[in-house]
């Protein structure tokens, strides 16, 4: 089934986004320290990824050192992103933190401009005011009684995570261009993320570093779904799809997490926060829509 899905990148991307939509829910269910959640979602995934990567290597040979270096860098950034995002989940819940963490759709072009000197699309400039206004609404700065233990801090954590997530996606895309070895790229990334998360955990204090049951069970489920299946599907699809379609597909994750947070965790953001999420999602969707229209116009 998986090889067949890998030949249909759009389908693989959609299935991957739906799978990782459960990530914040499972992190909340595990109820462990943010750094510990990042560490064990990666560590528990390593045996499965190693087996898949070994099978790829026997068939296609070893990956290049450049690819491995890029995957290692991506993994280190991903680990720090996860820790910060997990703190955001604690402060504003699974749904809101996931929506805010996905502002990477707007951030990535600015990073590409700063690093690669790529032109910032007009669609991003149009979406930026909507996204910024949405972030302000979600922060709770304009109301009393906003949902979350600490909405302003949660928004700050989520925004920082979004910036790191954007950096991770840029590096990951460059390091995953060999479409024959997605598990190898994911293994290298996850090894680096495991080591980085362990270092961060020790720096922050590892008193509850080793999870007990049922937390360990939730983290194993998180590792097998999000870290293995979800990111395998995304790694397969990301280099094969236009940037606009990738942005549209990845928007599925925050929408799914908002719905799942309400249904499974009884999260109840305020009306203003829901309005803010709607503005952010409209901004993200508009990016993909305008980019696809621009592509069609160029082909006409």
Mind listing the pLDDT tens digit for each residue in 32-49? Answer: 888 889 999 999 999 999
Q: Global pTM? A: 0.81
Residues 87-111: tens digit of each pLDDT: 999 898 888 888 887 776 676 667 6
Question: Which tokens go with 96?
Answer: 């809101």
Phi and psi at 78, nearest 5°, equal: -60, -40
Least confident of 25-29, 41-45, 56-60, 152-156: 56-60
Min mean pLDDT across 157-166, 195-204, 286-295 is at: 286-295
pLDDT exceeds cutoff 60 at 217: yes
Residue whose C-alpha is closest to residue 105's, from 51, 166, 172, 47? 166
8 Å CB contact between 205 and 64: no
Mean pLDDT of the chain: 81
Is pLDDT of 1 > 50?
no
Alpha helix segments (H runs only) across 176-251: 182-204, 215-222, 231-237, 243-250
Which whole number is the average pLDDT over 9-37? 86
Per-residue pLDDT averaged across 255-282, rounded?
Answer: 85
Each residue's pLDDT tens digit, 143-178: 777 788 888 898 889 888 888 887 887 787 776 555
Rounded Cα distance between 138 and 288, Å, is 23
């Amino acid at each position: 089934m998986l090889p067949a899905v890998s030949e249909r990148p759009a389908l693989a991307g959609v299935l991957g986004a739906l799978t990782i939509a459960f990530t914040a829910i499972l992190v909340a269910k595990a109820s462990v320290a943010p750094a510990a959640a990042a560490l064990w979602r990666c560590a528990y995934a390593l045996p499965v990824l190693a087996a898949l990567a070994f099978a790829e290597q026997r068939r296609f040979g070893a990956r290049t050192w450049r690819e491995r270096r890029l995957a290692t860098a991506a993994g280190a950034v991903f680990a720090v992103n996860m820790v910060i995002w997990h703190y955001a989940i604690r402060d504003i819940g699974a749904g809101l933190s996931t929506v805010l963490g996905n502002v990477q759709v707007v951030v990535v072009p600015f990073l590409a401009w700063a690093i690669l000197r790529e032109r910032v699309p007009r669609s991003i400039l149009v979406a930026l005011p909507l996204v910024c206004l949405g972030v302000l609404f979600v922060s709770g700065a304009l109301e009393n009684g906003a949902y979350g233990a600490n909405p302003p801090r949660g928004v700050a954590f989520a925004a920082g995570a979004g910036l790191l997530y954007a950096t991770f996606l840029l590096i990951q895309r460059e390091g995953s261009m060999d479409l024959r070895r997605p598990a190898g790229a994911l293994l290298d990334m996850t090894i680096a993320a495991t080591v980085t998360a362990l270092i961060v955990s020790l720096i922050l204090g590892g008193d509850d570093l080793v999870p007990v049951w049922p937390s360990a069970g939730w983290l194993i489920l998180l590792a097998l779904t999000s870290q293995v299946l979800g990111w395998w599907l995304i790694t397969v699809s990301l280099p094969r799809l236009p940037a606009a379609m990738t942005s549209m597909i990845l928007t599925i994750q925050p929408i799914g997490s908002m719905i799942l947070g309400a249904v499974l965790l009884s999260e109840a953001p305020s009306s203003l926060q829901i309005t803010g999420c709607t503005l952010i999602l409209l901004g993200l969707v508009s990016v993909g829509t305008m980019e696809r229209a621009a592509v069609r116009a160029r082909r006409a």
